[in-house]
Amino acid sequence: MSRIAYFGPQGTFTEQAARTLAPDDELVPVETTPSALAAVRAGEADAACVPVENSVEGPVTATLDSLAEDEPLVAVAEALLPVHFSVLARAEAGEIRTVASHPHALAQVRRWVEANLPGARPVATSSTAAAAVAVQNGEFDAAVTAPVAVEHYPLRVVATGVADVADARTRFLLVRRPGALPEPTGADRTSIVAAAPNRIGALSELLTELAFRGINLTRLDARPIKENFGHYLFFIDFEGHVAEPRIGDALAALRRRCSNVRFLGSHPRADGVRATIEPNAGNHDFTDAVDWVAAVRKGELA
């Protein structure tokens, strides 16, 4: 049985994602997302379950920054969770004066709170589960939590299925130390972080390398390099698997153009969407081209 570190305490959306990604393993809550990744690097956990992006609030910067720093780690699986909250309290709805949760959660239920708990003051906590703990300890009146929190905290359920955006989702990664990767499935995602030269057109050149090979982007984020103001790291997700010739060719081109490229993993997509293959950009096209060049070098073709 593996040990899976996740952003705790018990009762977070990350715990729900970890149950999906590693249902038979031991789940170990830690205080922060960077702490979960640090536990893997230190050998204290076999893997970490971490959030990477939310459809409403955007990228999870703590995860991106932690993956770009220190020893490399790679994602081997992902999960997509609907973001519907529960509101837990010590008192009836009419008596609630403070509502606590993680800032991302508060932002995603703002309209619901204004309509259903008028006058209640939002209070930010380190996680949705930490808010439930604080309510249980009498610090606040109510908490906006993940549905799984009701299994851990004996509080009154004021509402369930709460969300200002009905189809909001968060994507989570299962991250391990470098090693054997999942086999390609045809519905895969590859992730990298690249340090592009600080000059005109540098980012455009990187994206053009992917476009030339008919590779479709699924995400692009920029984060500042902390030690070098005005310079940025680019987090790029795209369709395909590093084992494919077309993806390998693209990664080699990006490595030539960038001062540094860190491979963050290739794994099956949680939504099962298969890669878009443009005409003359399939894996067999790249293989045939390499074979043709090899034949020319051997003098076998005119």
Q: pLDDT tens digits for 79-100?
A: 999 999 999 998 787 889 999 9
Give dist(CA 238, CA 243) in Å, integer. 14
pLDDT band per the 50, 70, 90 thresholds, residue 302: low
**Residue 226 predicted with pLDDT over 80:** no
Whole-structure pTM value: 0.90
In a shared domain, residues 173 and 25: yes
User: How many domains does one find in the chain?
Assistant: 3
| Radius of gyration of the chain, Cα coordinates, nearest whole angstrom | 22
In a shared domain, residues 206 and 175: no
CB burial class (10 A; 0-12, 13-18, 19+) of residue 51?
Answer: buried
Domain limits for position 201: 181-302
In a shared domain, residues 10 and 147: no
Picking from 108, 130, 162, the residue at the C-terminal end of a domain is: 162
- CATH assignment at residue 14: 3.40.190.10
Q: pLDDT tens digits for 198-210?
A: 788 888 999 999 9
- Give the pLDDT mean for 52-76: 94
In a shared domain, residues 56 and 131: no
- Give the pLDDT mean for 273-292: 94
Q: pLDDT tens digits for 36-54?
A: 999 999 999 999 999 999 9
